[in-house]
Amino acid sequence: MAGSASHPSPHLSVGTAVVVRAGVVGDDAEPGKIVADYGPHQEAVGDQLGRDWAPVKRWAVALDNGRLVFVDDNDLETSAA
């Protein structure tokens, strides 16, 4: 999905139903809902941490199976559900 940390896809926002394709067990896609947007904080947090590993992800997504995952725009797509 197109978008970046400072310019997310116009289709993504808190409350949007999505399908997560990365950060899940195996390579199976998992449905869920975006519950938080950390985009505005990504750059500030990265600068404060003084490291470039384990970067802050853009979105927190509550999967329908009960798990919480953190992903970026290209890891998910909007869902028809």
**Chain segment 31-56, per-residue pLDDT in tens:** 999 999 987 666 665 566 666 677 77
Domain residue limits, the chain:
17-78
> From residue 66, how far is each of 10, 16, 31, 41 by CA, in Å?
26, 16, 11, 25
**Predicted local distance difference test score (pLDDT) of residue 9:** 63
Average model confidence (pLDDT) across the chain: 77
**Predicted local distance difference test score (pLDDT) of residue 56:** 76
What is the arithmetic mean of pLDDT over 61-72?
92
Q: Which residue has the higher pLDDT, 55 or 67?
A: 67
Q: Which CATH architecture has domain 17-78?
A: Roll (2.30)
Tell me if the pTM is above 0.75.
no
